[in-house]
Each structure stands twice: as C-alpha cells, then as structure tokens.
C-alpha cells in the first residue's frame, strides 16, 4: 500500500502554533495605532469609520483592530484565524516559511 496515513509527520510544525512566532512578527510590524485607539472617523458621515487598509468606510461594528499593528480592518482586510489584519498576516506567513526552512538550510 502506498497511501499509509502516518499522522504527525507531514505538517506537525505548521499546525502547531508557535508562541515565539508572534513575538518575531511583532518585531517586524510597524505599530500604526495604539491598542484601544479608535478608528479614523469618516468626516462626511456620523457613524462610519475608515478601514486603515483599503480606506473604505464602514460601521464601527464592522471594523476590528489588529492586535499587532493596531490598524483597523474591515472584514475583507481581516484574517480571522489570527485576529490580525491581512497586512500583518503577510508578514506572519513569511515568518512561518522562514521557520520551516530553519534547521534544514544551514549555511
């Protein structure tokens, strides 16, 4: 049989959350807003705020603050999995790839 399903080998690293990963990513992320700082208000309306990534306006309830950079993101600029914005998610993914390469490619 070719298809032996051995658990644990294939993506044990990727699926396990690395607590160091976020502190490494945090070092790479420029903090744009302090945690708890409100999103930018849309001057032309009363209850709408700017998404810091795509700059469209949304209701306050539609925006979430990134736990890394502090920017406010709408649902399409948001990575629910890690509670961060898509921009930080890109950095996170780079670190994940680098983490996987570590140990294998030693110079």
Residues that bind Zn ion (CB under 5 A): 51, 53-54, 66, 68-69, 74, 77, 85, 88
Spatial distance between the Cα atoms of 5 and 7, rounded to a whole number of angstroms: 6
Nearer to Zn ion (CB atom), residue 75 or residue 98: 75
Contact 39, 60 (CB under 8 A): yes
Nearer to Zn ion (CB atom), residue 22 or residue 51: 51
Nearer to Zn ion (CB atom), residue 56 or residue 99: 56
Spatial distance between the Cα atoms of 70 and 66, rounded to a whole number of angstroms: 5
Taking the mean position of all CA atoms in its chain, how far away is CA 20?
Answer: 15
CB of 85 to Zn ion, least distance (A): 3
């Amino acid at each position: 049989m070719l298809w032996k399903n051995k658990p644990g080998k294939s993506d044990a690293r990727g699926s396990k959350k690395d607590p160091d990963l976020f502190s490494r990513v945090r070092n790479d992320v420029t903090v744009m807003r302090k945690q708890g700082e409100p999103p930018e208000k849309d001057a032309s309306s009363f209850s709408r705020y700017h998404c810091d990534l795509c700059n469209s306006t949304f209701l306050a309830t539609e925006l979430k603050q990134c736990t890394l950079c502090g920017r406010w993101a709408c649902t399409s600029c948001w990575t629910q999995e890690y509670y961060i914005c898509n921009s930080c998610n890109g950095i996170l993914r780079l670190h994940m790839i680098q983490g996987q390469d570590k140990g294998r490619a030693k110079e």
